[in-house]
């Protein structure tokens, strides 16, 4: 009876189709389109027909090699040194531009280290992309514990029974409802060099012992500053997620722990944390995914600089796909980014399956 009542192919499709078609057209189609574009030389506007180029775009982004440079020697076989006593090496350009090594053609130095009196030089076909890749991974690596852990601390802080506690929850959550674009511009001022607000606050708190830092203008601090600001903005979001998790833990478990005479840490370790396992996986995954998608902060605050120290994958996608109208180049980075997301999702699936 009931199956007859609910069975309706026509109505079923009719209700689902408008929504599904939009999703299909604007998410699924461009998704597969990205894979196709990454195999071509498509440009946004071009008089020439688009050609299929196979995996060339991927090779152009991902080729990396290590060169070993022998020190330059004079006629007597002595190692030549410059005025500062540093060992002189042949220039990398003399190899990447030489006809002897066509496989290195067009590659540039990414970084180098010394091995005895030899120098190992890592060359990449696309140094900016490599920096963007490393920065994106660094971003994720630091923001996950900072934001996830910070959010958990806030949730534990808010989960007390105190008068007026809701007011604090409201305040901690407030930056979440403000656009990251607004936050980025605001913090660009707070982070600014000499007369910046943050420098002044730190100087006041340390009674002048703190030396001002050009937070966004120095390669050592720019990425870290953006990570800290991003965590500051979004930590309230995950505080709420942790809170929801905390509230699913049965109070009888806490009572039992209290009767057993468990310390605060023991209660957290053996009651609270096991109860938060699924929440922890979710928070971890969501923050990682968000950090892979960082764009607005970079665009507003640093434009990828100084010296490419804050380049990210999405910023590069846009800079190429839109800025340089190199659609296929942008799409190739998008596909690589998606494969990274897919790996993270696989980790999530694995972590949540293990439990069931």
From 111-119, 127-135, 196-204, 215-223, give the range in contact with another protein by CB under 8 A: 196-204
Closer CB to another protein, 127 or 301, in the complex: 301
From 96-104, 135-143, 180-188, 210-218, give the range in contact with another protein by CB under 8 A: 180-188
Distance CA 52, CA 35 (A): 12
Distance CA 321, CA 38 (A): 11
Which residues, numbered 55-74, are part of the site for another protein (CB under 8 A)? none
**Residue 200 in the binding site for another protein (CB under 8 A):** yes
Distance CA 349, CA 281 (A): 10
Quick one: which of 169, 228, 276, 302 contacts another protein (CB under 8 A)?
169
**Residue 244 in the binding site for another protein (CB under 8 A):** yes
From 92-100, 133-141, 195-203, 217-225, give the range in contact with another protein by CB under 8 A: 195-203
From 65-73, 85-93, 95-103, 289-297, give the range in contact with another protein by CB under 8 A: 289-297
**Residue 273 in the binding site for another protein (CB under 8 A):** no
Distance CA 327, CA 324 (A): 8
Concatenate the DSSP letters of all residues of 134-185 into one string. HHHHHHHHHHIIIIIIHHHHHHHHHTS--TTHHHHHHHHHGGGGS-HHHHHH
Q: Which residue has the tokens 């505080």?
A: 239
Phi, psi of 111 (to 5 degrees): -155, 170
In 10 A of CB 134, how many CB atoms? 15
Distance CA 197, CA 202 (A): 9
Phi, psi of 64 (to 5 degrees): -140, 140
**Residue 160 in the binding site for another protein (CB under 8 A):** yes
**Residue 135 in the binding site for another protein (CB under 8 A):** no
Q: In Å, how far from its chain's centre is CA 113? A: 26
Which residues, numbered 305-324, are part of the site for another protein (CB under 8 A)? 314, 317-318, 321-322
From 217-225, 253-261, 263-271, 332-340, give the range in contact with another protein by CB under 8 A: 332-340
**Residue 110, SS3 per DSSP:** strand
**Residue 129 in the binding site for another protein (CB under 8 A):** no
Closer CB to another protein, 25 or 79, in the complex: 25
Q: Which two tokens stand for residue 127?
A: 């140094």
Closest C-alpha among 245, 244, 228, 243 to residue 175: 228
Quick one: which of 61, 133, 155, 180 contacts another protein (CB under 8 A)?
180
Q: Which two tokens stand for residue 283?
A: 């928070």
Quick one: which of 143, 282, 287, 301 contacts another protein (CB under 8 A)?
282
**Residue 209 in the binding site for another protein (CB under 8 A):** no
Quick one: which of 66, 141, 171, 256 contacts another protein (CB under 8 A)?
171
**Residue 73, SS3 per DSSP:** strand
Asked if residues 333 and 322 have their Cβ atoms less than 8 Å apart, the reply is no
- Residue 69 pairs with which residues in a beta bridge? 119
From 137-145, 159-167, 214-222, 260-268, give the range in contact with another protein by CB under 8 A: 159-167
Quick one: which of 79, 178, 205, 258 contacts another protein (CB under 8 A)?
178
- Least Å distance, CB 219 to another protein, is 22
- Least Å distance, CB 224 to another protein, is 17
Quick one: which of 126, 296, 304, 309 contacts another protein (CB under 8 A)?
296
First-to-last alpha carbon distance for the chain, in angstroms, is: 35
- Least Å distance, CB 80 to another protein, is 46
From 106-114, 138-146, 152-160, 250-258, give the range in contact with another protein by CB under 8 A: 152-160
Quick one: which of 249, 341, 347, 351 contacts another protein (CB under 8 A)?
341
Residue 325 burial by Cβ neighbours in a 10 Å radius (0-12, 13-18, 19+): middle
Asked if residues 231 and 150 have their Cβ atoms less than 8 Å apart, the reply is yes
**Residue 107 in the binding site for another protein (CB under 8 A):** no
**Residue 42 in the binding site for another protein (CB under 8 A):** yes
């Amino acid at each position: 009876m009931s199956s007859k009542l609910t069975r309706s192919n026509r109505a079923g499709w009719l209700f689902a189709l408008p929504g599904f078609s939009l999703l299909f057209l604007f998410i699924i189609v461009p998704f597969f389109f990205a894979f196709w574009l990454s195999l071509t030389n498509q440009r946004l506007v071009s008089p020439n027909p688009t050609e299929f180029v196979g995996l060339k775009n991927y090779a152009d982004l991902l080729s990396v090699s290590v060169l070993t440079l022998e020190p330059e020697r004079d006629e007597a076989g002595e190692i030549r040194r410059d005025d500062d006593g540093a060992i002189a090496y042949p220039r990398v350009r003399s190899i990447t531009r030489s006809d002897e090594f066509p496989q290195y053609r067009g590659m540039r130095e990414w970084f180098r280290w010394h091995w005895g009196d030899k120098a190992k030089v890592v060359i990449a076909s696309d140094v900016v992309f490599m920096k963007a890749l490393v920065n994106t991974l660094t971003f994720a690596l630091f923001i996950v514990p900072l934001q996830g852990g910070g959010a958990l601390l806030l949730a534990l802080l808010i989960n007390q029974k105190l008068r007026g506690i809701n007011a604090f929850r409201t305040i901690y959550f407030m930056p979440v409802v403000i656009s990251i674009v607004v936050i980025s511009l605001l913090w660009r001022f707070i982070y600014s060099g000499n007369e910046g607000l943050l420098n002044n606050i730190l100087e006041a708190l340390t009674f002048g012992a703190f030396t001002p830092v050009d937070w966004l203008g120095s390669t050592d601090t720019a990425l870290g500053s953006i990570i800290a600001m991003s965590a500051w903005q979004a930590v309230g979001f995950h505080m709420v997620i942790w809170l929801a998790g905390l509230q699913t833990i049965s109070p009888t478990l806490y009572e039992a722990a209290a009767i057993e005479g468990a310390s605060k840490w023991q209660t957290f370790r053996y009651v609270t944390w096991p109860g938060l396992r699924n929440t922890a996986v979710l928070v971890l995954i969501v923050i990682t995914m968000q950090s892979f998608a960082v764009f607005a902060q970079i665009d507003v605050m640093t434009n990828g600089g100084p010296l490419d120290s804050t380049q990210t994958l999405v910023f590069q996608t846009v800079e190429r796909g839109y800025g340089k109208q190199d659609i296929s180049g942008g799409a190739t980075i998008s596909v690589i980014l998606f494969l990274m997301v897919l790996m993270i999702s696989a980790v999530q699936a694995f972590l949540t399956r293990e439990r069931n």
